[in-house]
Amino acid sequence: MRVADAVAAAKLWLISEGAADLPYLSEGLYALVTVESDAVDTVAADESWRLYVNPAWAGVARVDELGREIAHQLWHLLLDHAGRARAAGVDRATAATWRTASDLGVCDALTDEGVVPERLREHARAVRKARPDLAEGRSTEEYWEQTRTLDSAPLDRGEGDRRARDDTAGAEDADEGSASDGLPRSWELPPEAAGGVEPAQGDDVRRSVALAYRAAVAVRPGHTPGLLDRWAEQVAEPRIPWEYLLAQAARRGVGWTSGRTHTTYARPNRRAASTPGILLPGWRRQNPTVACIVDTSGSVDEEMLGRALGEVEGAVVALGVGGSDLTVLTCDAAVHTVARLRRARDADLVGGGGTDLRVALAALETLRPRPTLAVVFTDGYTPWPDAPPPGCAVIVALLLHAEQAAPDVPGWATVIECRADP
C-alpha cells in the first residue's frame, strides 16, 4: 500500500465510530502533512505538523498500529511539547529526559482515548517501575521535574529501538522529532518548506480540537472530567490576567483618542518640503484627557479598586498623560484609594437611591478640557445612559468577586471583568 493511503486509512480509523471513535481529532489529523522518510523508525513529527513516516514500516503495520502512532505524534503537537520545552529551557543535554516526561503526558492522554501504542505503554510502564512514587495525570513539566532526579541515566526505549545515525545520536530517538522537544532534527524539512503549519495556525488547530472535544465528549451523560477536559478548557479559554487586559484597553483608548483622527492643514507635513506647491494634510495631535469615574458605593471591593486604578494609572502615565490631563471623579469623597492619583476634581455623585453612573457620565460633559477617554470602576449595579458621552470612549472595569456573574453593561462600552482571586 502507498504510504499516503496507509496514513489516510489510519486517520480514518482514529475518527470512525466502531473503531477508535475520536472524531474531535479530525482537524488535528487533517493538519498533519505526510512526509515519507527512511530516517525514522516508524512515525515522528516536527514542530510544523509534518508527519514523517517510514514507508517500509507503514507498509506492514496494522491500521490501528499506524493510527496509534499518529495519535501519539498528534498529541505531542496538541500539547505543544515543543513550545513548552523551550519555555522550560530544554536543551540537547536534557532533551532525552524531557522526551520521557512528554511521552508520559501523551500516554496519559492516549490512555483516556484508548489508543496507546504498545511501545509507548511499555516505555511508560518501565519509567513508572523505576519511579513508583511518580504520580499519575501530571503535567509534562511536573513529570520532567520528577524524572530529572532519577538516579540512573534517562530511561530510553531499549537497545533495539535506538539507532545511532549521526553525531547527534544519543540526543535523538529515531521515532521522535522536534514536535516532542522543540529541537530540530537533521532529517526534518526546514520550517519554511512548503506544507508546514505555522505557529499561529497550530494554535488555531489546537483550539478547534479543544472546542470539538468539549462539544462532543465533555457533554456526554456520565462523562467524568479528566486530563483531556483540563487540556481542552485551558486551550479553549485561555485565562488572560485582567490586569493585562485593562492596561491594554486603557492604552488603546488613549491611542484611539490621541489623534490621527483629525486631519488638519494647520501644521506643515514633513514631506511638504520635497513637494513644493502641494499642500499635504498634516496630523494635529489632540492631547488625550482621561477621566476615571470611581463608584465607591455598595459592594465595591477596595483592594480590587486599588489594583484596577493602579493598572489604568500606570498605562496612561506611561503614554504621557500627565496629571493635568487626568481627572478623577468619585462617588464618595471619603475614598482614600484614589489619593495617590492626582485628584483634579471631586464630585458627589451618590444619588438618593444609591449609585447612578448616569450622573457621573453626564458630568464629564461639563469638564474642560472634555475627557476623550473615561474609565469607570464599578461593581456594575447602576443604571446606564443609552449612549456614551459624545466624543468620549468608555471603558468599564467591572470589579467582581471570583465566581460572581457579571451584571449587564451597555454595548457601547469596552468591558473588562476584573475578578478577585479565588
Q: How far is the CB of 81 from Zn ion (least distance, A)?
A: 8
- Residue with Cβ nearer Zn ion (84 or 214): 84
Total residues binding Zn ion (CB under 5 A): 2
- Residue with Cβ nearer Zn ion (178 or 180): 180
Segment contacting Zn ion (CB under 5 A): 78-86, 95-103, 251-259, 357-365? 95-103
H-assigned helices in 225-269: 227-236, 242-257
Q: Which of 230, 176, 194 is nearest to 41 (CA)?
A: 176
Q: How far is the CB of 79 from Zn ion (least distance, A)?
A: 10
Q: How far is the CB of 106 from Zn ion (least distance, A)?
A: 5
Q: Which residue is nearest to Zn ion (CB)?
A: 103
CB 394 within 8 A of CB 361: yes
The correct pick among 41, 46, 80, 103 for binding Zn ion (CB under 5 A) is 103
Binding mask 180-219 for Zn ion (x = CB under 5 A): x---------------------------------------
Report, in angstroms and rounded to the nearest whole number, the Rg of the chain calculated over CA atoms: 29
- Residue with Cβ nearer Zn ion (44 or 328): 44
Is there binding between residue 69 and Zn ion (CB under 5 A)? no
- Residue with Cβ nearer Zn ion (180 or 355): 180
Measured distance CA(111)–CA(47) in Å, rounded? 23
Binding mask 158-187 for Zn ion (x = CB under 5 A): ----------------------x-------
Q: How far is the CB of 210 from Zn ion (least distance, A)?
A: 20
Measured distance CA(365)–CA(238) in Å, rounded? 38
Measured distance CA(327)–CA(288) in Å, rounded? 12
Q: How far is the CB of 32 from Zn ion (least distance, A)?
A: 15
Measured distance CA(71)–CA(49) in Å, rounded? 12
Q: What is the dihedral of CA 45, 58, 110, 124, to 10 degrees?
A: -90
Read out DSSP for 194-231? TTPPPHHHHHHHHHHHHHHHHHHTTTSTTPPP-HHHHH
- Residue with Cβ nearer Zn ion (43 or 294): 43
Q: Which of 315, 344, 308, 259 is nearest to 419 (CA)?
A: 308
Give the residues lining the site for Zn ion (CB under 5 A).
Answer: 103, 180
